[in-house]
Amino acid sequence: MSLPSSRLDRYRRIAGRARRVPGEHGLRPYSVAIVIGTWAGAYVGRGGKFETTEPITELGGFPPKVRFLNEEQRTLAGLADGACTVGPITPDNSSGGTAFSELVPAVAAQVEVHVRITGPAYPQGALFAVKEVKTDRALHWTLVCVPSEKS
């Protein structure tokens, strides 16, 4: 049995308000953005590159939680050193949230999508590839990311 959309929206609004609290207190030191690189040529790496950035934020403009996985977690999941999870990310609702299309934009032959994480471990920002998007929860989404470049 699924929740009526009005009730689901209400719960997502409540979750969004709760998730901004750590950011208000400075407990979310990493900023997160989806970076979309569009190449002028027919394929990635051909021609000039145009880049757009879409920040991922919780209510009030605060960044989501970024948690770097320990060695055991990485080994069990088969992930590279430096892998992390981003989230919980509140799905879109009447008071804000993040649309699924922002997390996973449509990709064409000449487009590449990364996550840029900036914070204490990556002061200049580092690009990560999205390994998995977990959307199996009604009140939050999670990105599993692996480094795509060394900073």
Q: What is the pLDDT along the chain (151 residues), one digit of tens a residue?
A: 455 678 888 999 999 899 989 988 989 999 999 999 888 887 777 888 889 999 999 988 999 999 999 999 999 999 999 999 999 999 988 888 888 888 888 766 778 899 999 999 999 999 999 999 999 998 999 999 999 964 4
Give the span between the Cα atoms of 4 and 55, in whole angstroms. 29
Q: What pLDDT is recorded for position 131? A: 92
In the chain, the number of structural domains is: 1
Q: What pLDDT is recorded for position 149? A: 64
| Contact indicator for 51, 111 with CB cutoff of 8 Å | no
Give the span between the Cα atoms of 104 and 19, in whole angstroms. 21
pTM confidence score: 0.85
Give the span between the Cα atoms of 150 and 126, in whole angstroms. 7
102 backbone dihedrals φ, ψ, rounded to 5°: -75, -35
Q: What is the largest CA-CA distance in the chain?
A: 50
Q: Which domain holds residue 24?
A: 5-147
Mode of pairing for the β-strands spanning 31-39 and 66-68: unpaired
Is the peptide bond preceding residue 105 cis, with omega within 30 degrees of 0?
no
